[in-house]
Chain A
């Protein structure tokens, strides 16, 4: 089987390799199809990779893959009055049996390099999409803001299993060069084995360099947009609350829904972009479903 998979990766390996690739693919498809219908058992088995990297843990064993989709109805841009529906893919792979660690919709991608169980910390990163003036009439005359990567770290503390405190502090690269610090608290209540509800307050602090590209209006932008010139400074940026419901229908299927409300504060709320053409009240609503299946690497 391993030889067959290797053959798949050799582009000019000839007809024999192509036949092997076809039979491997067919075997893979048949195995996957049969086993997925056999509800909750290992869906298929993949061969171990032909080489291994030093220090990288073994890939052998059983893994759980989760795939799904979410629809998020969120403001067009930060401070917008109008919202739009965006699809969000869900994909993750973890060791079989591992529970889903609690995750708030606002959490950035992160890895816990330090893990005491109740206290975790590690790097965190977030992608902030570009803001194009052509995408919304309210942005007319304000120019574009490039996409930004925010890189930093997170720390979270669980004094008990059902309560989480988390801070993420990230520095921007690209669209903004400031610092963003998100604070959140979540009460995580398992109502039944299948149903978990969570909710809690949120607060965001941003430096002037993180706020200005999105909320300042210089003289040229004022002339072009018809809005008053404005110099946005940093400080308290937003405060709000969020809630989430997760329901596991069976070991494979799970559905979830959430709502996140935040009210812009400080100069973000005072910017003419928000006071004249937008809104300080920002609400995001999401709903999604995911399917999990096990596969084995041996």
Chain B
């Protein structure tokens, strides 16, 4: 009888230990963010504006990138994210090599993307100062477009051709990671979603149809209409994305 009592006690102890381990293992991202106080913001979308074509196109149709460095979109992201997060976190300035973050590309092997985050090592080795509770890393995202295998990425404009018409849409595709500043584990990662679900145009990220086409020219940087439209996409999508990530 005493042996049975010991067994019961041992089983209960094991259940408590296992329960505690399981709760740590399955701890929600929301719970992990509770301990975060100091945050650094890294924005590295790069300075490229990508023109791409989809739908009824010819063979060999890679996108073409032109520079929009003068728009300083990474500064815009940093400023807006800082303003949105400052009510909950202490925002600390950080320095990092933006080019190194921009250069990292997505692996075509999806399981690899799930297991090994491509930005983790950069955050660990190239960001100063170290020791912040978390780092918010904003980088460009990719999304499928149309029924074929076409993908569009980052900031740009896509022209989609059907048999009867062509139409253009601008996009600002970005994703946000929250990286633990001590363990460099990715606590949360989310790509910004669409800002409007009422249009025919389907893209899994902030995008907007344009009323009139834009010439595939290298003078994009001076096009205030495009600049304003991209800023609008960022301004409308960033608060929702941060909220969905339980950061606000």
**A residues bordering B, Cβ < 8 Å?**
39-42, 48-55, 57-58, 60-62, 64, 95-102, 112-120, 156, 158-162, 164, 188-194, 196, 248, 251, 294, 296, 298
A116 to B27, CA, bound (A): 33
- B contact residues around A164 at 8 Å (CB): 148
A102 to B147, CA, bound (A): 5
A114 to B108, CA, bound (A): 6
A3 to B198, CA, bound (A): 33
Residue of A nearest to B206 (CB): A97
Return B193 CB to nearest CB of chain A, in Å: 5
Which secondary structure dominates chain A's binding surface? loop
Residue of A nearest to B151 (CB): A117
Decide if B147 touches A100 in the complex (CB within 8 Å): yes
- Residues of B72-120 at the interface with A, using a CB-CB cut-off of 8 Å, are 108-111, 114-115
Decide if A113 touches B109 in the complex (CB within 8 Å): yes
Decide if A40 touches B198 in the complex (CB within 8 Å): yes
Decide if A101 touches B147 in the complex (CB within 8 Å): yes
Besides A55-B114, A60-B190, A99-B202, 7 more A-B contacts (Cβ < 8 Å) are A101-B144, A101-B147, A119-B149, A158-B149, A160-B59, A161-B56, A162-B148
A107 to B25, CA, bound (A): 37
A-B contacts, 17 of them at CB < 8 A, read A57-B189, A58-B190, A95-B191, A98-B144, A99-B144, A99-B203, A102-B147, A102-B148, A115-B149, A117-B151, A160-B148, A161-B149, A162-B55, A191-B164, A193-B165, A193-B167, A251-B199
Decide if B148 touches A115 in the complex (CB within 8 Å): no
- B contact residues around A191 at 8 Å (CB): 162-164
- B contact residues around A99 at 8 Å (CB): 144-147, 202-203
- Say if the beta carbon of B246 comes within 8 Å of chain A: yes
Q: When A53-B26, A96-B197, A158-B149 are in contact, do A61 and B162 touch as well, CB less than 8 Å?
A: no
Residue of B nearest to A164 (CB): B148
- Say if the beta carbon of B29 comes within 8 Å of chain A: yes
A64 to B25, CA, bound (A): 29
A76 to B191, CA, bound (A): 46
Decide if A112 touches B193 in the complex (CB within 8 Å): no
Decide if A117 touches B25 in the complex (CB within 8 Å): no
- A contact residues around B28 at 8 Å (CB): 48-52
- B contact residues around A60 at 8 Å (CB): 29, 188, 190, 244-246
Decide if B110 touches A188 in the complex (CB within 8 Å): no
Residue of A nearest to B187 (CB): A58
- B contact residues around A248 at 8 Å (CB): 200
- A contact residues around B197 at 8 Å (CB): 40-42, 62, 64, 96-97, 251, 294
Decide if B193 touches A95 in the complex (CB within 8 Å): yes
A115 to B143, CA, bound (A): 12
- A contact residues around B202 at 8 Å (CB): 97-99
- A contact residues around B58 at 8 Å (CB): 160
Return A222 CB to nearest CB of chain B, in Å: 48
